[in-house]
Structure 1
Amino acid sequence: MKFRYTRVARKLLMLDKSAIVSAHPDDEVLFFSSILDKADKIVLCFLGCESKPHWGVARQKSLEEHPIKNIICLGLSESETFCGPDWNNPVVTPYGLEITGNTPSGEKYSRNYQELKDLLRPRLRGCRNVFTHNPWGEYGHAEHVQVYRVVKELQGELNYTLWFSNYCSNRSFPLMLRYVSGFTSEYVTLKTNKTAGRTVKDIYKKNGCWTWYGDWEWFNEESFMRDRDSIGDSHSYGHIFPLNMIKMRQFNEPGGGPRKAPLAAEHLREAITRLVKRVRRES
């Protein structure tokens, strides 16, 4: 009974004065569904995307229709560095990950770091617990890594407890291994909220800005690890808390990755379906 009470108390304490910091609209439900309706505030960082101009309006509309109303969107424009890092040998930098090649996207990525820090600071002041992306960017997204790094740096100023998600993929696996050191870990496992997940997914899909797999099904559970300074530890061995592993096609394969061709085909099918239903109603 004492053990059960301790687990319940820990779950309650970890949600005291809590905030979720998520990179993009839809990440909040992909990786934080178990606490989506329990956190005191949800902060989304990015909104628009220069190469996909419809996303900004579609995402804003989706947030207005979102069942969770305590969402703040910082409104930054994406740097479009999704395929920028070398995920076989990722290089960690002060602003996230090294982006291969001297590109405008890489420059915007580095500039976004300070802007994120300035915008997040007042939103996280007074929080006791902050939940965000993990150091390897879940399935491997440079902006997820950047958001983690910003939130981690602000922790030193604002003194909150930092928790990160347990999602990983074959793409981000090499970077994840760098954060496995020693045998000390503290984590909490919660049931995912599949109902909320599907509801929010349908809103984003309806508005044409769902950026993940269209037939995605949520894990039964997800875990949050209490962050500690483990990278660079002298241990060459260790373990990590349960991972929600995602198998993905490599991103140099045709149609590889969730943010590419499958979305366009799916949106076209949905548009045709809506048109057929409308014609039938009017005939």
Structure 2
Amino acid sequence: MNARPAFLENSVIVAAHPDDELLWFNAILHDVDEVIVVYRDFWAQPGLGEKRAAALADFPRAGVSCLNIAESGAAGCANWDDPRESPDGLVLSFESQRRELTRMSRLALGKVGMGERRVAEYSVLTAYQNNFVKIQTLLRERLRPGMNVFTHNPWGEYGHEEHVQLFRVLQGLRDEIGFNLWMSNYCTNRSLPLAMRYFQTSPGQPIRLPTNKAFAEEVASVYKRHDCWTWADDWQWFDDEWYLPAPRQGATPQPHQHLFPLNLFTIDVAQKRPWLSMAVGSAAAASALMVAADF
């Protein structure tokens, strides 16, 4: 009988959204001691939180819990062509301001009985910053010295602002609490510019494990059955995953540095015309505020 690997002793996956624990930690999902998922609800998708809760309750293994934090809506708000890191994750680009104009216009229209009333309580930026503190507070109560904590990498796998934020939270808590922090090895064309800042001369010894495709399909079927699977239906699981001790803050790459093996895949990167979004959003907000003022 094989002894359990040391890196899986006292182990936990901390994943941002339900199904992230499967997509990026397939090889260890069945075997870790505990799984913690951060987010549940998202205001723009009514009912999603209930579907996710049902899926997690139906999860085909024990020890899965959720912090029940609401998503900030920051996905797609960073400038992934030239991403800038911040203490709470990533600096958000103009896209977050455009969304705030839309939010304000909806609020104004709602006050005069016009338009859609479903609207975020806070701006994307405020929600993103508030979530950092919420996640930090809740995880500080759950994590202990010596644990093996597996989470997202500092470029957010395919480039997700909330994945990056969760890494930042755990990066700080590692120094405060004293656990071992491990990261996933997935990357895409969108997130590669940020990943390249984590080239290292001595990246440490990665752990290579075969993925558990049978269990992956079992878990994916639960999310699909509860109508909260967020990934592509034709996704093909990689054969292996690599885990590496998480690095410190990123830096400008130097000669002769390298990354450990990556599970690199492509993702669609929408072509945006920010000037058009700005014009439309500003006009909508201005019109709504004028109506509200005249009412």
Asked if residue 157 in structure 1 is aligned to residue 157 in structure 2, the reply is no
Shift in Å at residue 127 of structure 1?
4.6
Select which of 36, 40, 61 maps to 2:29.
36
1:117-196 matches, within 5 Å, as 117-196=136-215
Matched residues, percent identical? Answer: 38
Unmatched 5+ stretches in structure 2: 101-122, 273-295
Superposition deviation, residue 226 in structure 1: 1.0
SS at match of 1:48: coil
Q: Contact (CA 8 Å) 2:198, 2:247: kept in 1 or not?
A: no
Partners of 1:122 and 1:187 in 2: CA distance: 29
Partner of 2:264: 245
Q: Is the 8 A contact 1:181 1:236 kept in 2?
A: no
Alignment deviations for residues 37-62 of structure 1 (CA, whole Å, 9 cap, x no partner): 21111110000010001210100010
- Residues in 1 aligned to 2:192 and 2:245: alpha-carbon distance in whole angstroms: 19
Aligned mate of 1:219, from 226, 230, 238: 238
SS at match of 1:111: helix
Comparing both chains, which one has the higher relative contact order based on Cα–Cα distances under 8 Å and sequence gaps of 6 or more?
2
87-96 vs 182-191, which deviates more?
Answer: 182-191
**Which residue of 2 is the match for residue 50 of structure 1?**
43
Q: Distance in 2 between matches of 1:71 and 1:243?
A: 27
> How far apart are 1:230 and its partner, in Å?
5.9
For 1:146, the aligned partner's letter is: Q
Query: Are the equivalent residues in 1 in contact too, given 2:197–2:252 (CA < 8 A)?
Result: no
Calculate the TM-score normalised by the size of structure 2: 0.79
SS at match of 2:131: helix
- Give the AA of the match of 1:169: T
Residues 20-47 of structure 1: CA distance to partner in whole angstroms, max 9, x if unpaired?
Answer: 1000000001011111121111110000
1:21·1:130 contact (CA, 8 Å) conserved in 2?
yes
Q: Point out the more displaced range, 234-243 or 78-87.
A: 234-243
Partner Cα separation in structure 1 for residue 271 and residue 36 of structure 2: 32
- Shift in Å, 1:93: 0.3
Distance 2:14 2:82 in 1: 27
* SS at 1:218 equivalent: coil
Aligned residue in 2 for 1:272:
none
Structure with higher Rg: it is: 2
